[in-house]
Structure 1
Amino acid sequence: MSAIRVENLTKRFGDTVALDDVSFEISEGEFTIVLGISGSGKSTLLRCINGLTAPTEGQVIVDGDPVTSHRNDVAMVFQQHNIIGGMSAYSNALSGSLGRTDFLPSLLRFNDREDKLQALEALDMVGLLDEAEQRASQMSGGQQQRVGIARALVQEPQILLADEPVASLDPGSAQTVMQYLRGAAEQEDLTTMISLHQVNLARQFGERFIGLADGEIVFDGYQDDLTFDVIDELYGGIDMEEYLSGNESDTTVA
């Protein structure tokens, strides 16, 4: 059964076509990486799947139901972490239960015992249990992103999306974050879609790859099919040495 089905998805922002008649299916438990340069439509695609952006045409179907708004069973890890610096890693992770708990009780830690245990387990899953009470603002960028992953796990999603989760990190931190992200997805049996621009990380951690160029799918396949010819089609005219090393700066919301 398909966990995600995208049917003829088109998204326009004024005269700009961000996605152009995109269709594909993702099976349950599949770990998929979306590749493409800045402006190719990666972030727009994930935001449509998460219900944060409404399509102009077409639809996204998750677990058999059309996506019309944000869903609690679809969690998102953002490029800029989106965690609260003044709160501890534990409190940030615990905020993933807000869909089940009112904001004030959650802020005051009046959560159910099960939610609290989930927050600690999620931090342990991303290697941060010993830093649970550390203020997020005092953590490194890689640690903050791992807190964001823990928060997403506490949400109890069926689908995990990550939008350029390592774009602002150094290569070592990016590697660590991807290891924990892949490990958590496997442990929780999550259907996962991640947008990346670093080809080396994509090839190391991905199972299936969807390549976007100018809002259209130009590649949909697996590891053995992701040849240098395909990469050249996706990144033609770009310094491939930077993309392969993971040093290219990709800060544009695509």
Structure 2
Amino acid sequence: MSAIRVENLTKRFGETVALDDVSFEVPEGEFAIVLGVSGSGKSTLLRCINGLTHPTDGQVFVQGDPVTSHRDDVAMVFQQHNIIGGMSAYSNALTGALGRTDLLRSVLRLNKRSDKVRALEALDTVGLLGEAEQRAGRMSGGQQQRVGIARALVQEPDILLADEPVASLDPGSSQTVMRYLRGAAEERGLTAMISLHQVNLARQFGERFIGLADGEVVFDGYSDELTFDVIDRLYGGIDMEEFLAGENGHSEVTG
């Protein structure tokens, strides 16, 4: 059974068509990356999978069940971190257990012992166990995003979604965040879908690639099929010299 199945998914916002008859499947345990420029429909697609946005037409299935609302077995990492700066990394990670406890008990650290252990394990997974008591607002952008990943892991999902998780980070921090995302998915046997602008970063960490342009799937395949011609279709007139430099770590190609 596929972990995620998208069938003829269409989403309109007034006259704007964000997704147009999108269909694909993601097997369990796959690390898939959604590529495309801003406005191509990447965020809308992930929000439909997570039940945060309802499609106009079509259907999303998770573990064989239709998605009608937010599901606890699907966790989301957001571009802007959405963590609480005045709380420690540990306390932020604990909020991933809100589906199992209320906000006040979480803030006061009155969670179950098992959830506290999960929070520490999740911080360890993203390399921040030694920073557990550091105030999140004083952490770097990359560290804050790793706290966001830890929070998602505490939710104990089967599926991990990340919407442009490195869009606001420098190349070095982007590499680190993607490495921890990939490692967490592999370590915990999660199915993952990550939306990215950066082609070179996607090629480095992705297995499966779904390319969107104007809300339509224009590519669905694996690394050896992600050719320059495909990239040009997705990004339109990309500078190949700049792209090749980015592949060698000297610059970063974005949409």
Would you say same fold, with TM above 0.5?
yes
- String of CA shifts for 1:54-84, please: whole Å, max 9, x gaps: 0000010001111011111100000000000
- Counterparts of 1:1-254 in structure 2 under 5 Å? 1-239=1-239, 241=242, 244=246, 245-246=251-252, 248=254
Distance in structure 1 (CA, Å) of the matches to 2:130 and 2:122: 12
Judge conservation of contact 1:9–1:23 (CA < 8 Å) in 2.
yes
Amino acid at match of 2:155: Q
For 2:40 and 2:252, the matched residues in 1 are separated by 18
The separation in 2 between residues aligned to 1:185 and 1:207, in whole angstroms, is 12
SS in 2 for 1:51: coil
In 1, the alpha carbon distance for the partners of 2:243 and 2:223 equals 21
**Contact 1:3–1:191 (CA under 8 A) maintained in structure 2:** yes
- Answer whether contact 2:101 2:111 (CA < 8 A) is retained: yes
Matched letter for residue 137 of structure 2: S
Cα distance between partner residues in 1 of 2:144 and 2:239? 29
User: TM-score normalized by structure 1?
Assistant: 0.96
8 Å CA contact 2:199, 2:253 repeated in 1: no
Q: Is the 8 A contact 1:171 1:247 kept in 2?
A: no
CA distance in 2, matches of 1:215, 1:147: 31
Deviation at 1:237, TM superposition (A): 3.1
Question: Equivalent pairs: percent with the same residue?
Answer: 83
Q: Tell me by how many angstroms 1:163 deviates.
A: 0.2
Q: Distance in 2 between matches of 1:190 and 1:115?
A: 19
Q: CA RMSD in A?
A: 1.2
Query: 2 CA distance for matches of 1:152 and 1:242?
Result: 32
Structure 2 alignment gaps of length 5 or more: none
SS in 2 for 1:203: helix
Q: Displacement, 1:166?
A: 0.3
CA distance in 1, matches of 2:181, 2:119: 16
TM-score by length of structure 2 reads: 0.95
Of 226-235 and 237-246, the range deviating more from structure 2:
237-246
Q: Distance in 1 between matches of 2:44 and 2:208?
A: 19
Describe the SS at the equivalent of 1:148. Answer: helix
User: Following the alignment from structure 2 to structure 1, what is the Cα–Cα distance between the partners of residues 239 and 49?
Assistant: 30
Q: Is the 8 A contact 2:200 2:243 kept in 1?
A: no
Superposed displacement of residue 247, structure 1:
5.8
- Name the CA distance, whole Å, in 2 between partners of 1:12 and 1:92: 34
Unaligned runs of 5+ in 1: none
Equivalent-residue separation in structure 2 for 1:202 and 1:237 (angstroms): 19
Distance 2:37 2:130 in 1: 37
CA distance in 2, matches of 1:12, 1:228: 31
Give, as a single letter, the amino acid of the residue that structure 2 aligns with 1:246: E
Query: CA separation in 2, counterparts of 1:92 and 1:36?
Result: 31
